[in-house]
Chains A and B, each alone.
Chain A
Amino acid sequence: MPDANVLPDATTTDGALLVLAIVLPAAGVLLSFVLGGRYAERIASVLLPSGFILATIIFADVWQSGHRLVYIVGDWKPPLGIALRADGLSAAMMVAMAIVICAVAVFAHADFGTRAGSPEARAPFAFWILLMAIWGAMNTVFLGGDLFTLYVAIELLTFAAVPLVCLDGRAETLQAALRYLLFALLGSIFYLVGTALLYGSYATLDIVLLSRRIHMEPATLAAATLMTVGLFAKTALFPLHLWLPPAHAGAPAAASAVLSAVVVKGSFFIVVRLWFDVMPGMLGPAGAQLFGALGAAAIVFGNVVALRQQRLKLLIAYSTVAQIGYLFLMFPLALDTVSAQLHGSGALTGGMLQAISHATAKAAMFMAAGLIYVALGHDRIAELGGIARALPMTIFAFGLGGVSLIGLPPSGGFLAKWLLLEATVATAQWWWALVILAGGLFTSCYMFIVLARAVSPPSAPLKLRGAVPRYQEAAALTLALISLLLGLVALGPIDIVEVGRLESTMVGSR
């Protein structure tokens, strides 16, 4: 039974949780700003776990009830007002991002920790506020039911992410941050002109209302194209990926983890909302194959360039470029050939699971790379010899993260690729199966290169430059273990992604 027809657009019980998910981070940012640097970390250490608990409650609520949660802000129903909606997709992403951000917060305590009574310092003050802002912006992206609210949310996300790139103040990171900002602004302004055209045609930007009114016409086609190109620029999909490697590799380790794992998924989520919820019937086979082709190009390009990298952080950043390509493979695979509509199915679940397992695995890998840098004073892959003996937990975490990226069972990456491969068989698009398998092969190549170097004995006795706190290694390892065990969700809430989907037929539900 389609959810939209059963429930009128009204605030559901527990809908107030959605407001809390947005208000808590906003309050945290404002309070930290005024109270000053010493308190920013403390406020974050209270709010971030609360955010995780909140996300879990919302997830459990959506899963148990089988309906999405709705909150009408200001008691004004769309099209006049704004609605916040939590369907299965939102709930799953909220929980995943909350886990990653909490782990990053634990990890970052070593670099950005503030002792009581110390004067306000620049980097810690900025870092904790920016982290809370990213958390709040992501929640708004997941819960926002109006395309203009989503615009404000991705602007918030961009302004929180860019200063993280150049947090250490070096010239290369300043350049990378400026390039990132310009790409991101181009993306936002394209998205904005799309919303202008959509409003001009339908007098609403509410996702549910738009999905009912939308039809093919020049203005809508122009809007869809421009918005998608803008969001591709923000998600760093090939060929608009140029800004990502220097930005993610140059940031401090905790920041790289958040940038690659969390921030990139925000604009991706809006692409999914746009095409799966607002205009599922408009993509068509040609458009879907184009998305898949860009994804395939990203996978091949990102992996090949990653193989040639000499620095670990750059290798991991190019790996992100490749893994983003996987996310877009789900578009041709989720297209129902009979109705030419994008629908929630195994492919959608696979894509979202890929996003979540990439988030946990990549964050763990960037954390591990950061710890290696602290220990050795550099991250040159050729000179990693002996680090496995010095930091076994760290290398183990890195390896486990790689396992998920390659797609070995029981990791989340494995289950995601399995679902996508199932969809290639079901829709008889065998060429995507080749791409998926080739990608896994490439990834295992560079993972092998890095791990082989790490376990090989050092050419000269290893001198550790700095001590690595145990809890940082534990944070990385926890995330890596989560990404490893994510495949086990198949036994549990795997079909939460189906909850709240707007279309009436659900092919391939499990």
Chain B
Amino acid sequence: MTILSAFDIGLVVLILGIGASTIAARDAFAAVIGYVVYGLLLAIAWVRLSAVDVALTEAAIGGGMTGMLLLGAVARLRLAEGNDVRTSLPTRLAAGVMCALIAAGLAIAILSPPDPIPTLAPMVMEHLAQSGLGNPVAGVLFVYRALDTLLEKVVLILALLGVWSLAPDSVWGGIPGLRVYARPGSTLTFLAQLLPPVGIVVAFYMCWVGAKEPGGAFQGGTVLAAMWLLVMIAGLKRVPSISQSWLRLLLVVGPVIFLAIGLAGMVLANAFLDYPAGYAKPLIVAVEVALTLSIGVALGMLASGPPERVRQP
């Protein structure tokens, strides 16, 4: 057993332990903190699986943004009335058996791999140079399977609309209820003044370098969202009302540019979402920059929740 192997086993034990604790914990707050730690450990696991782009996305969105949403929810739910009755022991036993069976079935499926193991990696690499990209994951996301990425952007916008539609009619068009802690001179204010310039540079760097190295629009967009949220929570910038036209414009600029370039491909290249020869990389980078902006704004607004008041406090 090498050091690396022991590291992997230790990591898996930690992940399973903390994962189980988030399910079994009595206190919701402890469970959510456990989940944030779990997300970071998972990011390390993804690095061990040689999937650095996924590790970045998991750390940013899976651990970071989701953790933030859950923490905010736990804070508000502490004021809620008494909780539901725990499910009965027979139900829990039956559920436990069913889940164990499903996990076992998955394990058996995992332990019987095909021989030889089929892969699309050679095909991906073969054609990657054509588009000028160096990052194969970016190639899959924006060249080979661009339709899925485009549709997923629409899914994001729709989820935001769904969250907004939960607002009461009286405050429609108002300001999301993100909790603001504007205390001048506090550590939060200090961080909110120090980090965002660095964060914005990091975000655009991640987007830019994503064409060649791990990175890309999703990861960069999440960092952008985090910086924006930090600034809003510290009270340094006001939370925008959802009817602001600049907000709506930024939200759709990414998917619209992506769609427009895709449609142009029907005329200038061979098909929808095909890029004209030689122009693939600049077009893809342009799409990624626009998407970074849109994703950043969308994730920030998703984390802020539905509108809760009409006038600025």
Contact = CB atoms under 8 A, between A and B. Distances in A.
Nearest to B251: A33
A148 interface: yes
B63 to A, nearest CB: 18
B195 interface: no
A79 to B, nearest CB: 6
A47 interface: no
B183 interface: no
A140 B127 contact: no
A307 to B, nearest CB: 29
B165 A80 contact: no
Interface residues of A, number: 62
A73 B273 contact: yes
B168 A222 contact: no
Interface in A153-174: 153, 155-156, 159-160, 162-163, 166-167, 169, 174
Nearest to A11: B271
Interface stretch (A123-131, A372-380, A498-506): A123-131
B47 interface: no
Given A26-B151, A75-B269, A149-B151, A200 B113 contact: yes
Interface stretch (A201-209, A424-432, A483-491): A201-209
User: What bracket does the count of chain B residues touching chain A fall in?
Assistant: 35 or more
Contacts of A152: 148, 151-152, 155
Interface stretch (B33-41, B82-90, B138-146, B207-215): B138-146
A219 to B, nearest CB: 4
B136 to A, nearest CB: 12
B161 A33 contact: yes
A408 interface: no
B154 A74 contact: no
Given A19-B272, A203-B119, A219-B112, A29 B154 contact: yes
A22 B272 CA distance: 11
B108 interface: yes
A393 interface: no
Given A162-B162, A222-B106, A19 B266 contact: yes
Given A16-B266, A163-B166, A218-B112, A33 B259 contact: no
B162 A149 contact: no
Interface in B233-254: 243, 245, 248-249, 251-252
B166 A166 contact: yes
Interface in A162-196: 162-163, 166-167, 169, 174, 193
Given A29-B154, A73-B273, A129 B161 contact: yes
A74 B265 CA distance: 8
Contacts of A202: 114, 118
B144 A80 contact: yes
B157 interface: yes
B105 A222 contact: yes
A169 B169 contact: yes
Contacts of B110: 219
A72 B273 CA distance: 10
Q: Is the interface of A mostly helix, strand, loop or mixed?
A: helix
B154 A217 contact: no
Nearest to B254: A30
B162 to A, nearest CB: 4
Contacts of A82: 144-145, 147-148
A76 B124 CA distance: 11
Most chain A CB within a 10 A radius of its CB, from B102, B151, B172, B259 = B151
Interface in B153-212: 154-155, 157-159, 161-162, 164-169, 172-173
B252 A34 contact: yes
Contacts of B249: 34
B277 to A, nearest CB: 11
Nearest to B150: A26
Contact of A163 (B147, B162, B262): B162
Nearest to B256: A30
A222 B106 CA distance: 7
Contacts of B262: 23
B165 A126 contact: yes
A36 interface: yes
A223 B143 CA distance: 28
B158 A73 contact: no
Contacts of B256: 30, 34
Given A74-B272, A163-B165, A36 B147 contact: no
A80 B125 CA distance: 11
B109 interface: yes
Nearest to B123: A80
For the complex of A and B, the 8 pairs showing the least CB-CB separation, nearest first, are A203-B118, A122-B172, A126-B165, A163-B162, A219-B109, A222-B109, A75-B271, A75-B270
Given A74-B143, A75-B274, A174-B166, 17 more contacts: A33-B251, A36-B243, A75-B270, A80-B120, A80-B124, A81-B145, A119-B173, A120-B173, A126-B164, A140-B151, A148-B148, A156-B154, A166-B166, A169-B169, A202-B114, A217-B112, A223-B109
8 contacts: A74-B271, A75-B269, A80-B123, A149-B151, A219-B109, A222-B105, A226-B102, A226-B105
